[in-house]
Chain A
């Protein structure tokens, strides 16, 4: 599975000075998302920019250049803003990008920062009209006396130009910070979730949205949990799920009521009393939730584990995977250096047989649900020469038996964290965001899903 992964890294060199360990904060990647065919890959960063990569069509002549991703377009999605009423700066960091399914030649994506969601149209232009009657080649207006005959302008090929334009701006609907957006399977609506509310939008209507979940208590002193992530069901347009900071998941049905405060299903695992500590609440907070492609399962990530839930079983998860259990005894130091607040994302592969999530030291983990095997891989320049096969890594607990090439827990670099990962919808291609670098790995031997 993972051991056969071939590394064809596409590195984003922005802001990385090779002689120094200096990374421009604006270049830190904050979200990664494949589109529905996997042809395009979008990344958003802290500086509010979106970079779209496109997969080169596979070339039969050169077998090794098949399907590499190259930069397709770059644009500034969000700018820093200032809320004068609250004297608050609004960060331009892109929190999430979601693609719309392609319905015509153009591609559409939604990108959001803390407060505003924007719909962008990405289109190609490879033809240009030439032979105007009133304008000359440079665009200057012709002297009418020189126009003696009429001609029909003809479309001539030109160098490919990718144009990105904002089509909709969905603003002023969120008091709190937007953490998720999710496009509905009806392809007409989408939802945006902040800490306390979830709003339903129509893609064509920007001046109003419907509030479908509101967990804000009348008295803010009674606040006990916030919404951490939300997603629509991939097939049922009436169902969506949202996760909370208490580690619970709520499945809601929009047919039941206009306001879905009352859940249809509540997924919660009873807390293990022996594992209680100062930081139990923090580590149980769910940082990401993803439906499986089949729509049958849910994948959640909290600080130390990844869990697979069956939609039909609310009492406990189907499977629990320890991502980095060796950190359990280090929660106090991780609290002090703020790492305990890191929000890791998780991803399914196309066939829902493997799940993936990131960790520290630029490690990321993959778990095969069927074979129960797992692997730890590293996304770094040293270990990712083009065409090189990634070597599995191992972290040994302090005091444990140590093999050659093992890393001890104490030498993990906690500044190198992989929070954002994405898996191609059908093939074994993964995109890993390591701070300001993007790594794309392809599994050459097992390119077909099985």
Chain B
């Protein structure tokens, strides 16, 4: 796959991911509750799109002869065990958001550490890549804002946090979350 095709595939994967995310959130307000089958299929499509997105970005990165811009992501894929397609239909609103951010940070930190070991110093980008910088452009950039009258604690429930501003990295790790409500 050359760089141009990789870019097209990348764009397609991003679009599918964006569509899937909006479907996932829409399904939470559907009458009759979350449909397990539909959520499973959505998450499978998201997984394929995410994998293709990553691999096409790698190819782009390689063909540009630049270090891969998100070493954190590729290694996070390796460290997260995936013997079978894993499922996460929806982030549980009841889950304390602090848990998520802790595990993400830990995962990312250990990954960066691991990566630094493996990568040669010359190739390693000197710029520190935070999660925000890795945010792909298909996700809206503004953070979720509170509606007037909403209390702050309500906004911290998973539904807002997992929304707009999350980076793809955080999303990769989120995708491994379970359907805890069931």
Contact = CB atoms under 8 A, between A and B. Distances in A.
Contact of A196 (B31, B36, B88): B36
Contacts of A137: none
Contacts of A228: 37
Interface string A332-353: 1001101001000000000000
B48 interface: yes
Contacts of A338: 23
B113 interface: no
A279 B45 contact: yes
A114 interface: yes
A439 to B, nearest CB: 27
Interface residues of A, number: 33
Interface string B58-96: 000000000000000000000000001111100000000
The contact size tier of chain B is 20 to 34
Interface string A8-45: 00000000000000000000000000000000000000
A175 interface: yes
Nearest to A89: B31
Contact of A221 (B32, B41, B87): B87
A223 B31 contact: no
A219 B178 contact: yes
A226 interface: yes
Contacts of A279: 45
A245 B41 contact: yes
Contact of A89 (B12, B32, B37, B48): B32
A259 interface: no
Contact of B19 (A93, A223, A336): A336
23 contacts: A86-B33, A88-B32, A90-B33, A93-B32, A177-B35, A196-B36, A220-B87, A220-B180, A221-B87, A226-B36, A226-B40, A245-B40, A278-B48, A278-B49, A279-B45, A281-B45, A282-B41, A282-B44, A285-B41, A332-B16, A335-B45, A336-B19, A341-B41
Q: Please list the 8 inter-chain residue pairs (A to B) with the smallest Cβ-Cβ separation, ordered nearest first.
A: A88-B33, A91-B32, A195-B36, A220-B178, A221-B178, A281-B44, A223-B87, A226-B37
Interface of A: 83, 86, 88-91, 93, 114, 175-177, 195-196, 219-226, 228, 245, 278-279, 281-282, 285, 332, 335-336, 338, 341
